[in-house]
Amino acid sequence: MGPGPSNVAPSVLKAMAAPLIGHLDPRFVELMDEVKAMLRVALETKNEMVFPVSGTGSAGMEFCFVNLIEPGDEVIVGVNGVFGTRMCDVAERCGARVTKVESPWGRIIEPQQIAEALKKTPKPKLIAIVHAETSTGALTPVEEISKLAHDAGAMLLLDTVTSLGGCPVKVDEWKVDALYSGTQKCLSCPPGLSPVSLSPRAMAVATTRKKKVQSWYLDVNLLASYWGQERVYHHTAPITMNYALHEGLRLALEEGLDKRFERHRKNHLALKSALETMGIQYSAQEGHRLWQLNAITVPEGVDEMAVRKKMLNDYSIEIGAGLGPLKGKIWRIGLMGETSSLENVKTFLKAFGEILNSLGRKVDVKAALAAAK
């Protein structure tokens, strides 16, 4: 129940036990097409270039930047947590001139901040935003930011590692040019693949570069031949992980995206109601809190590490610590994918309440459980 990986669905584990076949086997090629088709539904897009990069979400991040950025390009990056900071680093390594738009950790990137940045950098090539900031539990709306980006002639890049499968991600409606995600959060697969999407406009940029993409492994011009119609050998794809993603996506679409999102929302509200009964407050900006990643403030006088250790050692429940300026100040409780259930909420509350009481922070566990229901 931390910030990822989430629990893996039993049928995903079963799928991973299937015998290996070759990465150019006709049946695996069929599976690749099915994965792409299901990803398009999950991302609500008709983009042709949608597929899973062989690597974790950070590989997806690099994929987007190395294909779209060349030395000297202007890039605006929203920074309100760990992963906005990481995007700046990756962009700079590509030779970009980066303008940071910063918000305190736990708050969203406001459209007005992007508008102000555009006054100083009026013609950026790319504006990059973390949709769901895993390090803080904040969800940044992107519709207005997307309009600002396109009005300025820029592409919009979105990090959806923690949002895909847990809350709406509307690539076409929001006019997202480039996107990357991960498998180990709300899709409830092991880490190892990063679903990506490039719009026709982004593909045009990637295919008409002045210089070769600096990464051979992540060059979409080469990967397109493997994941497209040609099926030209590029690398040995992680067969077992693609089995897992295929089954994870099948489960998500069988449940129905709207029902899946509603499940995440309800379990978040159950946890929130119970924690507020205990006197525990959320740290992320009100009105913009992630359903799937609940960042809560450590009460004064409570040893946050002692609580996490006791939770893991005595109850076999993992929750996450704060990072960066939030280190020691918050806990991060994941309700992602397979992990997002009322039963898990109640199991966590019982353990959390008993631990707080043992440490001298008196809370009413029965009242909290009643509030969750």
Q: Quick check: 234 pLDDT over 90?
A: yes
User: Residue 79: phi, psi to the nearest 5?
Assistant: -120, 110
User: What's the burial of 123, exposed, middle or buried (CB within 10 Å: 0-12/13-18/19+)?
Assistant: exposed
According to DSSP, residue 20 is labeled P
Within-domain flag for 1: no
Same domain for 221 and 263? no
| pLDDT for the residue 134 | 97
> Could you list the residue range(s) of the whole structural domain that residue 216 is in?
10-254
Same domain for 175 and 51? yes
Nearest-angstrom CA–CA distance, 198 and 277: 44
Last residue of a domain, one of 226, 254, 282: 254
Tell me the three state secondary structure of residue 76. Answer: strand
Same domain for 14 and 133? yes
Mean pLDDT (the chain, rounded)? 97
| pLDDT for the residue 229 | 83
Q: Quick check: 275 pLDDT over 90?
A: yes
Q: Quick check: 371 pLDDT over 90?
A: yes
Within-domain flag for 4: no
| pLDDT for the residue 240 | 98
Nearest-angstrom CA–CA distance, 213 and 171: 24
Name residues whose C-beta falls within 8 Å of residue 237's C-beta, 6 or more positions apart in sequence: 23, 28, 32, 54, 226
Mean pLDDT calculated for residue range 77-87: 98
Last residue of a domain, one of 227, 254, 281: 254
Same domain for 17 and 127? yes
Same domain for 153 and 180? yes
Beta pairing partners, 128: 77, 157
Same domain for 156 and 269? no
Q: Using 50, 70 and 90 to split pLDDT, how confident is the model at 230? A: confident
| pLDDT for the residue 310 | 98
| pLDDT for the residue 118 | 98
Nearest-angstrom CA–CA distance, 341 and 347: 10
The residue count of the chain comes to 373
Q: How many domains does the chain have?
A: 2
Nearest-angstrom CA–CA distance, 193 and 58: 10
Q: Which CATH number is 363's domain given? A: 3.90.1150.10
Half-sphere exposure of 296 (CA within 13 A, CB side): 26
Mean pLDDT calculated for residue range 223-230: 92
Same domain for 276 and 159? no
| Sign, Cα dihedral of 138, 354, 271, 317 | positive
Nearest-angstrom CA–CA distance, 326 and 272: 20
Within-domain flag for 213: yes
Nearest CA among 312, 308, 183 for reference residue 242: 183
Same domain for 56 and 40? yes
In the chain, % of residues over pLDDT 90 = 99
Q: Is the peptide bond before 5 cis (omega within 30 degrees of 0)?
A: yes
Within-domain flag for 85: yes
Q: Quick check: 36 pLDDT over 90?
A: yes
Q: Please give the single-letter amino acid code of residue 244.
A: A
Mean pLDDT calculated for residue range 23-50: 97
According to DSSP, residue 326 is labeled G
Last residue of a domain, one of 192, 220, 254: 254
Within-domain flag for 5: no
Q: Which CATH number is 40's domain given? A: 3.40.640.10
Name residues whose C-beta falls within 8 Å of residue 91's C-beta, 6 or more positions apart in sequence: 65, 69, 75, 77, 98, 126, 128
Within-domain flag for 3: no
Same domain for 113 and 175? yes
pLDDT in tens, 150-203: 999 999 999 999 999 999 999 999 999 999 999 999 999 999 999 999 999 999
Q: Quick check: 276 pLDDT over 90?
A: yes
- Please give the sequence-ordered ranges of beta strands (E in DSSP) within 66-147, or none if there are none: 74-79, 97-102, 126-130, 132-133, 138-139
| pLDDT for the residue 319 | 98
Nearest-angstrom CA–CA distance, 20 and 26: 13
Mean pLDDT calculated for residue range 225-250: 95
Same domain for 192 and 245? yes
Same domain for 156 and 296? no
pLDDT in tens, 93-150: 999 999 999 999 999 999 999 999 999 999 999 999 999 999 999 999 999 999 999 9
Within-domain flag for 212: yes
Which secondary-structure segment (H or E) carries 333? strand 330-334
Which secondary-structure segment (H or E) carries 49? strand 49-54
| pLDDT for the residue 23 | 93
| pLDDT for the residue 210 | 96
Mean pLDDT calculated for residue range 255-276: 98
Diameter of the chain measured on Cα atoms? 65
Give the chain's end-to-end CA distance (angstroms, integer): 19
Within-domain flag for 351: yes
Same domain for 80 and 92? yes
User: Residue 289: phi, psi to the nearest 5?
Assistant: -95, 135
